[in-house]
Structure 1
């Protein structure tokens, strides 16, 4: 499924409500501790908050993408098809890889520690994954040479998700998100 080839349009208000809620939660909670995973409870059952939101602070190590994929699979088990869970897991891996590669603050002094946020909305049958980093650089999908070994991450995100985007964070850095219909 592609963000450009959705059979039925994704309701823009739902997209906006999901990533806006997640952006606000990220700014409110701040950075979780290293290796920490915890659920966030939404404040109201009828508000824009999700049925469930989990957060994982991902250490900048070689196994980070594997840790994030396992976290995604565990969080979304029994929520959708196995194929859709794998779409989200691959997307999480791509977003996290980008954060680890390009996510340092301009001064480069702060320790690189991206966080993965994963929320699902039962009443809208959708999930949003987001990865935070310290960089203010805008993520841009690039056309990689056909023999290039990298440079296709955001193209993969665009193909697997129903919508994706990014938002600046209040204290600096950004949050890159992807929405999936479940």
Structure 2
């Protein structure tokens, strides 16, 4: 597992992309890099809206034996993740992050952190590997519970 702490600043999305890209296998690099960028952007916006200046944590697990990559982005906002939109008007500057998450990830979800904040995770299958079994209550990665 690799992890990265980022300030809640708009430039953090680009830093997360540059950090994640070389860690990823070529067959999932583009969708994971796009989703990490969107989730970090959403985390920055959520922290700003809540007036929180805590770091955002990005975790990445590349699991070749099981054929998947797991991404988790943890922020300090208690604001729940809204439902994914079904469409976004073409003239809107934002609002596509959760739609991209829905389309590009094989599975995703979020969970509140015990000490406040939330963790949003996404699972990306590599090639034709069978999907791992999981229950709705347990994400495929331990979400950070940073103080």
TM-score normalised by length of structure 1? 0.63
Q: Is the 8 A contact 2:8 2:53 kept in 1?
A: no
Does 2:104 align with 1:152?
no
Does 2:16 align with 1:68?
yes
Q: Specify the alignment match of 1:171 in structure 2.
A: 115
Could you tell me which runs of 5 or more consecutive residues in structure 1 were left unpaired when the two chains were aligned.
1-52
User: After superposition, what is the alpha-carbon deviation per residue over 1:109-154, rounded to whole angstroms, capped at 9, x for unaligned?
Assistant: x423211111122221101111111111111223433321111110
1:1-182 → structure 2 map (5 Å cutoff) = 53-76=1-24, 79-81=25-27, 84-104=28-48, 106=50, 108=51, 110-140=52-82, 141-142=84-85, 143-182=87-126
User: After superposition, what is the alpha-carbon deviation per residue over 1:50-85, rounded to whole angstroms, capped at 9, x for unaligned?
Assistant: xxx001001233421111011111211xx342xx20
Q: How far apart, in 1, do the equivalents of 2:45 and 2:108 lie?
A: 19
Q: How far apart, in 1, do the equivalents of 2:35 and 2:79 lie?
A: 19
Structure 1 position 159, deviation (Å): 1.1
Q: How far apart, in 1, do the equivalents of 2:10 and 2:116 lie?
A: 25
Q: How far apart, in 2, do the equivalents of 1:161 and 1:131 lie?
A: 14
CA RMSD in angstroms, aligned pairs only: 1.7
User: After superposition, what is the alpha-carbon deviation per residue over 1:13-47, rounded to whole angstroms, capped at 9, x for unaligned?
Assistant: xxxxxxxxxxxxxxxxxxxxxxxxxxxxxxxxxxx
TM-score normalised by length of structure 2? 0.77
Q: Is the 8 A contact 1:105 1:136 kept in 2?
A: no
Tell me how many residue pairs correspond in the alignment.
Answer: 124
Q: Is the 8 A contact 2:8 2:43 kept in 1?
A: no
**SS of the residue aligned with 2:71?**
strand
Q: Is the 8 A contact 2:77 2:117 kept in 1?
A: yes
Question: Which entry has the higher C-alpha Rg, 1 or 2?
Answer: 1
